[in-house]
Structure formats: structure tokens, C-alpha cells
Chains A and B, each alone.
Chain A
């Protein structure tokens, strides 16, 4: 957490010194000839339809939804059971049956067959603590960010033993927010502590919002993958970025993306 706080401070420093020193530009970019498969797959401990989305890379300024990959054979296995996924949407989304549910401690394998190639990934479901409660606080924000009125406060016991990683996913009025508004946490600095009303600053809410917070356990590999995406996008600050690099996932055979498995803990609150 200090790592991320320090990054925040670092955003502020140049922001204050260099306000308005940006300008949109037109650029001609080279294009890579070989298009790669992108896998977005997530299996949780919730009993529901779990989805896998298959798309491909495209040119950077294409400004279209990513090209979907249709007609692939997709399945997830836990070593004994195999869950087949079926294509159900134009955008490359495949889904499991309604009664599929991951189990903490089990290792799952995703396999994709497409145009004669096989892509594989494995992931284990780690533990997640139960959210005791959620609260919210009216935060004073500077006048240029008027819409940010309330932040959530979290009450949860982080389990003892270092090596837990979490991502917090937010749904506002049943609308999921993207990774850009998610919160990544490693227990490196907070191991075994009680989060006694920690302010979650990643999303702001207004009165009337119904907010569902999901606390998802993820592997270290998945944490690093999501962090890499954020470093490449949301966390760019212009001055202290490391060299750009491709985000590395866990899919074999040169495909990009990540198969993430999580235990879920959720809590819903209405901002009044």
C-alpha cells in the first residue's frame, strides 16, 4: 500500500508543476503483422455462468471493438470434471453452464482449441476473507472533482500469512466498473491486520448509488498481470514511468491475456 500511495504522491508532484502541458497529437504507428489471441477468462467460487472472452490484438488506433474469435473450443477442467463453454455472443464471449462453481484450493486448467492451435493456462483458487461490513464517508474533495462525493470504507480481517493478493471489483447500480477503477492489494505490508474502515479511494459515489463491492482473491501472477496493465495505462504519469513493455499473462503458445481464478467475497451498500 505504501507503494501505491507513493505513486499517488508522485502523480501529484508533476501534476502541480506541469499542469496543462499536454497536447493530443496525430501519430503514424507501425503495425505488427501477426495478430495474437487475447484471452480474458475468470472463474470464481460463485455459482453462476462463468465467461471466457476470446479476441485478437488489433491496430492501436483502430477505434473498434476488438475482433472477436468465434468457433473456438473452450473448456475448463479441475482434473476430474470438465466444463465445456459455449459461444453465446457476437463479441467472442463463451460461457459455462449456470451451476459451475470453483472451489478454494483447487487448480483449474483452461484449454482453447482454435484453428488447429491449442492454448492452455492453469490457476489455483486462493482463500479470501469475508467482508464484515462496508461503510461510506462523505469526502471533501477539491472543487474540480465535484462528482467524487463518497468513498467506501472497508471492514475486513486480512488472514495471517503473507502471500495473499486481492483485487476489488466495483459495480455501481449493477454496472461493472473496469480494471481502471479496480483496486489491487498485496498483503505484504498489511498481513494479518484488521482493516478497520480503510477508505477505498479508487471510485467515488454519489447519493442514491447502489454499490456492490467484490473482494476477489487472485494469484501473485494475476496480481502482476493486472498491475502491468495499470502501469501501461492508468498509472502512466509521464515522468517516472519505466520502459513500456508487453503485459505478460499465463496463456501458453504466444497468446496474450490471463486466466484468473478467485474466491469471492461480496457486500452491497446503498449510499444515502
Chain B
């Protein structure tokens, strides 16, 4: 299979590329360079580089790099980016040329209220659809829970992205499950994006530069998850001057330092965040609560170094941890503790081979682990589990001419799963050691994609990805009979490839623009997923169990088709879009009733497989310019699953299926000092199973159910508001500061998170229903300072 992989890879390059190269004319000359922000030296992504004479142009990539291939002549290049002053360069292009440009923000005030900064008419003109790019400035304006700015919460307001309940870091994109989102932090996968049960995400807003979400039309360079890609980039670090930013919030404090090094050839960013929720617990009247320690912290670091004109190196890392400790009594000698966290690391090397060929070589490492334990008596035990990933990839971008761009690359990943090892820790304790066998797997992919501007109206982005997954020893595989009882156990030697899956993943995007304001787009993508999360709960639990495809678990597969209409009004002030999608997913996983997922060696015997489908219409309206900005999103959708052994094989709505979902966010700049913002969200009830009767056994009244998820929860709605006050004067003429006051759930609606059914007391004949809600009104204050 290795051979097949390399043949396909070679095939891509040997047949496709030379043809494309031959297709070019010899007298073409390239101009390329980087576009940066003048203040911070941060690369600007999505800057429009317009050749006035030709009425065509290019856009800078993720690293701020652009390239244009033109015939020898005189040209006027216009570099434009929303919120920044245009830069106009007149060039006489006679030989290949490098032109680096720095853009200046028009006005700080305006820049702050920009919801999104990218090519002005990108909504209409880009070939991609079902993607949303969010700038941190916009996210920071939104009112949030306890003042903690959160990328994931902002993503959840977009059409096609759903949540269950509130305060969760999990999100469901177009009917896909939580583990079907590929979350990348500087290209490194993040396995668990939740802090503190998901009330906060692991992304520290001060360390993040921008966020891109792909819900469909996923480009060929991404793979490994079915439903979406959330691509998050950390700040590179100010390479012009030393800067410090910090904030003190209701539950957390943040500090970020950025500075240039080696005469602006390098820069770094260092950011830290720590919560102090447990300080408030100390004030509790309940002794049990007082004896609890609960906090999390994050560290983000990034370093980049420019070696000559052609090479740049980036090194970035994330480390975060949640800690929960609970003392069983006053003497504090018996303790229950639970801690979990992610660590990621990325090494990237950007190389400009020549004016047309750009490469990005990446090495990433990601680790998620948790441990749970109890000390102090003979019940003492510890339980540890982790998942690790090591990935190497090379991506190339080849700018053939302004009409044609090729992207191609290869990627290899090693996954290691340690599902759990538990053992007693006390001398004379009662527990034996139990270790679930490790799992190892390799995942490889090659891809090629071609963006072709056929005419100014018509563009096509066509891509093909080939992925190969291999289970590799040392490993243990159970064989199950039709009753899911283990009938055989197979053991494999270290390094032995004992199972593999492979397949093609075609991707296609087509755009037809009627004019500068209107376009229609069509996309199709097939995605494959080889890793999944064993979770059947609604909130993301830190006790994650990721498991790979195997002889018993076929890879998940999805096909999605989407059609959209895009319309910009009043010089791109208003952006409108309507998209319809249909998605079919196979080898979807659910669990048998009352499954045991934790520390279960025979986990695969708890799995049940079937199909899922999702379809819907999404409407998005945005205003991104001016004193007031806002976003209106509406989703009408349906997601159904059908698994032969669940619900008697009848299709049932997914637990996150909501028919209507509405989000409105708006911000208004009152004057130089005051800005206000509000969010309102509304969703019809998610699908839920409710009792149709009861039975009694050994003094306990137990609900009896009929169909799964046949009922609906009450509808959900919530208003959040915030106000930002900038300090009148800068301290010592340098230091800016601002206060942010926010109220989450302003009208204190007790939104139902879940409904439970209880018996009054033992042997009682009386029962009652109780709803659980997570938050009433939550006010908060945050103070930010920086220079």
C-alpha cells in the first residue's frame, strides 16, 4: 500500500505539473513579496493586490505572501485591505522582482470595530464557499460569559454551527458530531478545546490572530475530519516594538508580551492566562465547596525568525491545563484530583523558491492527557490516559500565472493512543493494575488542488486528496460475534501493519459571478475520518477516549454538496449569502444503550454503526463597515441518524438537531470612548427522549421510553449586552486602557439544559420532573491595559 501511495503521489506531480508549466509563455515575469502591518509587523492575510491595468490581481496567503506573473510592462499595483490605507506602487517590471509592502491602519477607532478584515468583496469574488473568516477585534467586541473572550462561542453564532444547551465548547457543523471538527492551532490538531467543562475554550484571545472556519467546500489541503475545519493562527509577535497587553477579568487574568529581536529579523509573542475561580469558592458558606481547588491556565508562545529574504522559521507552542482537587474532609489527607490538558507544538519553515513557488514545511506535535485519582485510603488509585500525534507535512503553492494557482503537498502522521491505565496506589490497597492496550496508527495523505480563473466571471477550485490509514502494531484486536461477545483476540507484533483503509477525497468549488456584487457558487466535498471520540454525553467531558479505525471500526465517510448565492450591497458594506446543503455520512458511530465507555477494554463491542444525513438552508447577513456593525444568521436544518440496533432501526433526530436557529450580534461605536454591543440567540428545542411510562423494581421507579429523541426541549433564547469604555487619556502618553462591562443572559431566562425525572424518595410512589439550567444572569467586568 505504501507503493500505491507513492505511485499516486508521483502521478500527481509527473503528469500534472509539467503540463501546467509548459502551458506558460516564456516571456512572463513574476513579482512577489510579503504584506505586513506597519505597526506590529504581523503578516496580513487576504490583502488584495490589484493590477490596475489588467483589472486582475492576487490575494496574500496565510503568511502574507503574494505572487503575480505578468508580461514585461509598467503596472500600477494597489494593495488594499479593509480598515487599512491603500498603498499604490508603480513598477516597471522587466525582471523577476520582490516587493514587500507595509500597510497602515486607517484609524484605530475604525480598526477596532471592523468585524472582519479581508478582501472587501471576498464574499462574492472568492471561489470558496461555506467559509467564514473572523478577526479577533470583532470577536473581542462580543459580550461573553464572565468577560472571557472566546473564539468558539463566536463560531457558535454562525449559521450552520449548532450547540446543545449553552456554555459548551463543543459545536456541531451541518449535522456533524463534535469529533468531526478538525481544530488546528498553528496547524497542530487540538483534541479537546474545552476548559472547565467547556464553559471556556482553550484559545486565549490575546494570543490569537485570526480564525477561519470551513463548513463545506473544504480545500484539499485539509483532511482527517468529516464536517469542518477550524483553522486558528496565533499572533507572530510584534517585530517593530516591545509591547505588553494585559487584562484583569472576573474570573481570569491575562498577560501578553511581544517584542522584536535581532534588529527586527525575529520576533516573539508570549501569552499567559490563569483563572482564579477557586478564590471565589473559598467564600462559599458550604464547607464542601470551600475545600475545592479549581482552576486552569494557558501558555502560548510563538517565535519567528527571518533568515535572508527567502526563508522564515516559526516556532509555536501551546500548553494548558485544568486542575480540579477536592478534599474529602478537613484534614486534607484524602484528596480526589482530576486534571487534564493539551500541549501542542509547531515548527514551520516557509521557503520562497522563486517568485512563483512557495513552500511551507511543517512539523507538529499534539498531546492530550488526563489523570484522575484518589489518595489517602485503601481505595486510593490513579488513572492516566493520553493521545499523541506527530505530523510532518510539506505544502507547496505554485503561482503559474494570475489565472492559475496550484497547491500540492504530502502529509504523514503518527497517532498513539493510550486509552487508560489504572492502578491502586496504596500499600495494601484493594485495586489491581488494569492497563488497556495501546493503539498505534499511521495516517498519510497527498493532495493536489488547482484554482483556475477561467474568465473574470467563472473560477474553479478543483482538488483531490488521497488518504491512507494504517493500524500498526504493537496491537490487540478483538473479534466479536453477532452478539458483540469477544470470540477471539489477535495480537500483532511491534511495527506490523495489520490493517489499512484508503480512499480518494475529491473536492470541488465553482463560482460564477454575474458582476462585482453577485455570484453563485457550488461545492462538493468528500471527507474521510479515521479517528473518533467515544462520547455519548452532551457536555464535553475531559475524560475523552479517542479511538482509531480498526478491523472492527470502518472509517467514517461524508459527501456534501452545497449551493449558494452571494450578494454584496453598497460597495461591500452589506454582505448577504444564502446557502443550501445536503450531507450524507456513513459508518457513523453510536453506542449501545447504557454503554460503558470509560476504562473498557472491549470498547469496540459497545459501538453500533449506521448512517446519518443532514440538510438545511443557512442565511447570513453582515455589515462590516461603519460605526455600527453586525451579523444576522439563521439556519433551518434537520439531522437524522439511522442505526440498525438503535431505536429499532428507525431513523431518529440527532440530539443536536434543532429546526430553527437564529443569532444576531451587533456593535455600535457611540463616540471615541464608548462602544456598546449585544447578542441575541434563539433556537427551537433540541431533540430529546422523554418517558412514556414507568416501572418499579426494588423500590426504584424507572422511566420507560418509546422512540429515541422523539420529543423536543423548550426553545432557547438569551440576550447578552456589553459596553466598552476607553480611558480618556493615555497614561504617560503610551498606555491605553479600557473597561468592559458585560451581562450574560441579561433577562435572566432559565434556559433548560436538560430535564430529569426523579422519585421523591426510596420506595415512594411519587415522581417529579426537574429541569437543570446552567446560568441565570451573569454580570462581569474586565479591565484591559496595553501599550
- Residue numbers of A with Cβ under 8 A of B are 1-3, 5-6, 8-10, 12-14, 16-19, 21-27, 29-32, 35-36, 38, 40, 55, 57-66, 139-144, 176-182, 188-199, 224, 226-229, 231-234, 236, 238-248, 256-258
Other-chain contact of A239, B292, B537, B596, B758 (Cβ < 8 Å): B537
Contact of A233 among B199, B294, B701 (CB under 8 A): B701
Which residues on A sit within 8 Å (CB–CB) of B705? 244-246
CB within 8 Å for A9 and B338 given contacts A142-B288, A233-B701, A242-B591: yes
Instruction: Report B764-787 CB contacts with A as 1/0, cut-off 8 Å.
Output: 011111111111100000000000
Tell me the nearest residue of chain B to A241, going by C-beta: B537
Query: Which residue of the partner chain, among B281, B379, B702, B775, contacts A232 with CB atoms under 8 Å?
Result: B702
Residue of A nearest to B769 (CB): A27
A-contact bits for B300-327, CB 8 A (1 contact / 0 none) = 0000000000000000000000001010
Q: Which of A19, A177, A196, A228 contacts B594 (CB 8 A)?
A: A228
Q: Which of A18, A144, A248 contacts B286 (CB 8 A)?
A: A144
Contacts A55-B695, A55-B696; is A63 near B766 (CB within 8 Å)?
Answer: yes
Q: Is the CB of B372 within 8 A of A9?
A: yes
Interface centre among A18, A141, A199, A226 (most CB of B within 10 A): A18
Please name all residues of chain A whose beta carbon is closer than 8 Å to the beta carbon of B536 when the two chains form the complex. Answer: 242-243
Q: Name B residues whose Cβ lies closer than 8 Å to a Cβ of A.
A: 196-197, 199, 281, 286-289, 291-292, 294, 324, 326, 329-331, 336, 338, 372, 374, 377-379, 381, 383, 422, 428, 430-432, 434, 536-539, 541, 543, 591, 593-596, 598-599, 655, 689-706, 708-711, 750, 753-759, 762-763, 765-776
Check A29–B690 contact: CB distance below 8 A.
yes
Closest to B420 in A: A2
A239 and B197 contact, Cβ closer than 8 Å, known pairs A5-B381, A66-B696 = yes
| Interface contact A5-B691, CB-CB below 8 Å | no
Among residues of A, the one whose C-beta sits closest to the C-beta of B291 is: A142
Taken together as a complex, chains A and B put the C-alpha atoms of A182 and B699 apart, in Å, by 11
A178/B698 contact (C-beta < 8 A), A16-B292, A197-B378, A244-B689 known = yes
Write the nearest CB–CB distance from B543 to chain A, whole angstroms.
7
- Within 8 Å by CB of B598, from A6, A180, A194, A226, lies A6
Number of A-B contacts (CB under 8 A): 255
CB B699 to nearest CB in A, in angstroms, measures: 3
Compute how far the CA of A61 lies from the CA of B768 in the bound complex, rounded to whole angstroms.
7
Contact A231 B594 (CB under 8 A): yes
B594 touches A234 (CB 8 A): no
Chain B residues with CB below 8 A from A140, complex form: 329-331
> Is A30 within 8 A of B383, CB to CB?
no
Question: Considering the chains assembled together, what is the distance between the CA atoms of A180 and B698 in angstroms?
Answer: 9
**Are B766 and A2 touching (Cβ within 8 A)?**
no
B755 touches A25 (CB 8 A): yes
Bound-state Cα–Cα, A94 to B363, Å = 71
Contact between B537 and A2, CB atoms less than 8 A apart: no
Evaluate contact between B594 and A245: CB separation under 8 angstroms. Answer: yes
Chain A to chain B contacts (Cβ below 8 Å), 18 pairs: A17-B199, A21-B773, A23-B770, A24-B769, A32-B692, A55-B696, A63-B765, A63-B766, A142-B286, A176-B699, A178-B763, A180-B762, A188-B434, A189-B422, A189-B434, A196-B378, A236-B758, A242-B537
C-alpha spacing A62/B758, complex, angstroms: 13
Q: Which residues of B contact A40 (CB under 8 A)?
A: 696-698
Smallest Cβ-Cβ distance to A66: which chain B residue: B696
Residues of B near A14 (CB, < 8 A) are 197
C-alpha spacing A71/B537, complex, angstroms: 43
Whether B432 lies near A18 (C-beta < 8 A) is no
Q: A14-B197, A23-B750 are in contact. Are A240 and B699 (CB under 8 A)?
A: no
Report B295 CB to chain A, min CB distance, Å: 13
Complex: chain A residue closest to B590, CB-CB: A243
Asked if B431 and A1 make an inter-chain contact with CB atoms under 8 angstroms apart, the answer reads yes
B697 touches A257 (CB 8 A): yes
User: Besides A58-B693, A59-B693, A245-B594, 7 other CB < 8 A contacts?
Assistant: A23-B750, A29-B691, A30-B690, A177-B699, A180-B700, A180-B762, A242-B591
Docked Cα-Cα span, A57 to B432, in Å, equals 42
B767 touching A256, Cβ below 8 Å? no
Nearest chain B CB to A196's CB is how many angstroms away? 6
In this complex, what residue of B is CB-closest to A26?
A: B769
Q: How near does chain B come to A258, taking the closest CB pair, in angstroms?
A: 7
5 nearest A-B residue pairs (beta carbon): A178-B699, A245-B593, A179-B698, A32-B692, A178-B762
**B residues less than 8 Å from A195 (CB atoms):** 430
Chain B proximity of A89: nearest CB distance (Å): 15
* CB contact between A31 and one of B286, B287, B693, B698 (< 8 Å): that residue: B693
In the complex the two chains form, is B329's CB within 8 Å of A19's CB?
no
CB < 8 Å neighbour of B539 from A6, A25, A240: A240
Q: Which residues of B contact A224 (CB under 8 A)?
A: 594
What residues of B have a CB within 8 angstroms of the CB of A192 in the complex? 432
- Taking a contact as CB atoms under 8 Å apart, the answer to whether B693 and A38 are in contact is no
CA distance A181 to B543 in the complex (A): 26
CA distance A250 to B132 in the complex (A): 53
Report the separation of the CA atoms of residues A199 and B287 in the bound assembly, to the nearest whole angstrom.
Answer: 22
| Structural contact, A193 and B541, CB atoms closer than 8 A | no
The residues of B that contact A232 with a CB separation of less than 8 Å are: 702-703
**Interface pair B430/A228, CB less than 8 Å apart:** no
Say how far A177's CB is from chain B's closest CB, in angstroms: 7
Of B377, B693, B703, B753, chain A has the most CB atoms within 10 Å of the CB of B693
Cβ of B689: which chain A residues have Cβ within 8 Å of it?
243-245
Contacts of B692 in A (CB 8 A): 29-32, 59-60
Task: For B539, list chain A residues within 8 Å (CB).
Answer: 239-240
Q: How far is the CB of A123 from chain B (nearest CB, A)?
A: 15
The answer to whether residues A38 and B599 also contact, given A27-B769, A142-B288 and a CB cut-off of 8 A, is no
Chain B residues positioned under 8 Å from A258 (CB to CB): 697
Cα of A29 to Cα of B694 in the assembled complex, Å: 12
- Which chain A residues lie closer than 8 Å to B593 at the CB level? 228, 243, 245-246, 248
From A2, A23, A26, B422 is in contact (CB under 8 Å) with: A2
Chain B residues whose CB sits within 8 angstroms of the CB of A19 once the complex forms: 286, 289
Contact of A60 among B329, B432, B757 (CB under 8 A): B757
Q: Which of A63, A199, A224, A234 has the most CB of B within 10 A?
A: A63
- With a cutoff of 8 Å between Cβ atoms, the chain A residues found around residue B543 in the complex are 6
| Given A64-B765, A240-B541, A242-B595, A25-B703 contact (CB < 8 Å) | no
